[in-house]
Each structure stands twice: as C-alpha cells, then as structure tokens.
Amino acid sequence: NIHNEVRWDFLDTYKYKILSKIISKKKVLNYWNQRNQGFSQYEDFNVSSKIINEANFDKKLNIIMLHIFQDSPFNYIDSKKIFFDYFHWLHHTISILNKSKEDWFLKFHPNAHRWGEDSRKIFFDFIKKEKISLGKNIKFLKNTSNLSIFNNLSKLITFSGTSGLEAISYGVKPICISRITHHSSVLNKQYFLPRSLKVYKDLILKKPDHFKVSNEKDRYEAKKLIYLRENALTLNPNFTSRNIYRGDSINYQIKQFNKMKGDINNNYK
C-alpha cells in the first residue's frame, strides 16, 4: 500500500467484509471456547493459559502487558506513536504510575524464556541504569494465566500486543501505544490510542468505568478478528509444525524442522 504501512495481520475494511461473509458466528464462538481451554493456533496464549495460578484476586486488576524486549516494535511503522520503543514506553509509564492512587501490576511475557531472554533481568538492569524508582503501588504478577487476568481485568496497557484485542473481547477498552487493527477496520473506537503524553497520562488515571466495552457486538467483533488472525491469515491450521525459538533445545528444533518439511509436501498444491 503506497499510502499506509501494512502488517500481515491487519485487515482493511474490504477484506474484512469478504471474510465476514464466509465465516459463521458459530465457528468463531466455537474457536473462542476452544481457545479459552488452551487450544488455539496462537502458541503464546496456549503457554499462558496453562499456567497454574498462585494468585487469588479479591479485586479487579490494572495490568501492563510487557513485551519480549528482544522482539521488535518496528515490524509495523506507526509514525504517530508517542513512544519510540519498549524502553521509552516503560520509562514514561512507570513515572505516571508512580503518581497513581491505584495498584498496578506488571506482567512479563510468558514465552520470553523460549526466546532465550531473561525479561526480569533486562527490566531491572534498565530501571537501575535509568535510575527509575518503582512506587509501592507497582507490583509484579507472577505465575498467573492470561485467562485469569482477563476474567479479572479493570484496565490494560499494551504497546501493540494481541492482549489488546483479547481485552476488548472480555469487555475492557485497552490503552495501546500503536495500532492493534488496521486504521480503517472495525474496533478503532474500542481501544484508546493516545497521540500525546498528556492524553496518555490522563487516560491511565481515569476511573475504571471509562474502560468498559458494554456493546456485545463490539466484543464479538474482537473475537472474530482474533479468529481471523489465528485461522484465516496464517498457515498454522494446515501445519503440524510449530515456531522455533532461540531458547528451544536442539532436539526440539530438529523435530520441528523435519515436521515442516513434511507439512510443505502435504500442502504443496
């Protein structure tokens, strides 16, 4: 597209309408129920959903979903986003949260270890280097599945992750730094995309009622977008092989590579 930056999992309005006509609501909801049991085409969610919870929640959660720091926020160039990268985002966000009267939880990415990354070490090395202090209201959420988080969600901040769409599905408008759907697609009014630091700060400090998605149709549209991204826009349903990461064992990598060769032959036509 000569006018707009594109990404493989972004659907423009035209393509979205075509796909919506051939995908039944029953198929979308069946996949949603299957996904919530930890059986989806999205590996990261499957990993998180199988975590055995250590936490019991007595109140709704305000969450920041941290990304894998070695992953790149530049596979889609959003020239209007207010933060350059994950570290720039964290620096300002923690500063704002320190002034909040609410408790906030940081959640490390559940699949970071497969990237060969110690996210916790990277995080604390960063705040030490930048001389950033964490207020007593900022805590870490350990050993908690994403399913539990979304079922107890009040506010969610993400840079641009799938958790933004998932939050909408569960009835919460997320705060996102970069777009989570194509600008001309559905749901552009169901998540917050601050374009200034002041707007971002004001949003974070607003009351939880400001973040509710009360319209069931919008919640369903988010579920449908998740279905399309994980089934129609990817080869995963046709392949038995899965992603290989830096932290995976050599035996696992060889096994997946051999599976991939078979998958290619089986799907050649």
Q: Cα–Cα distance between 232 and 225 in angstroms, integer?
A: 10
Q: Which pLDDT value is given to residue 44?
A: 80
Q: Which pLDDT value is given to residue 155?
A: 97
CB 262 within 8 A of CB 42: no
**pLDDT range class, residue 142, cuts 50, 70, 90:** confident
Average pLDDT over residues 57-85: 88
Average pLDDT over residues 46-66: 78
Token duo for residue 45 = 């969610």
Q: What percent of the chain has pLDDT over 70?
A: 96
Q: Which pLDDT value is given to residue 58?
A: 67
**pLDDT range class, residue 2, cuts 50, 70, 90:** confident
The predicted model scores a pTM of 0.91
Locus of tokens 């089986």: 266
Locus of tokens 């909040």: 100
**pLDDT range class, residue 78, cuts 50, 70, 90:** confident
pLDDT at 56 over 70: no
Q: What is the pLDDT of residues 145-192, one digit of tens each?
A: 888 889 899 999 999 988 999 999 999 999 999 988 765 567 888 999
Q: Cα–Cα distance between 142 and 73 in angstroms, integer?
A: 24
Tell me the range of 10-19, 34-43, 89-98, 238-247 where mean pLDDT is highest: 89-98
Q: Which pLDDT value is given to residue 146?
A: 82
Q: Which residues pair with 157 in a beta bridge?
A: 64, 175
Average pLDDT over residues 114-129: 94
**pLDDT range class, residue 41, cuts 50, 70, 90:** confident
Average pLDDT over residues 43-51: 78
pLDDT at 110 over 90: no
The 3-state DSSP class for residue 94 equals: helix
Q: Which pLDDT value is given to residue 161?
A: 80
Q: Which pLDDT value is given to residue 57?
A: 67
Q: Which pLDDT value is given to residue 165?
A: 92
The 3-state DSSP class for residue 7 equals: coil
| Cα→Cα distances 267→107, 238, 263, Å | 38, 7, 6
Q: By mean pLDDT, which of 10-19, 86-95, 152-161 is the weakest?
A: 10-19
Q: Which residues pair with 61 in a beta bridge?
A: 153
Q: Which residues, in sequence order, are CB contacts of 62 under 8 Å at separation 6+?
A: 102, 103, 104, 105, 154, 155, 156
Average pLDDT over residues 192-200: 96
Q: Cα–Cα distance between 83 and 88 in angstroms, integer?
A: 6
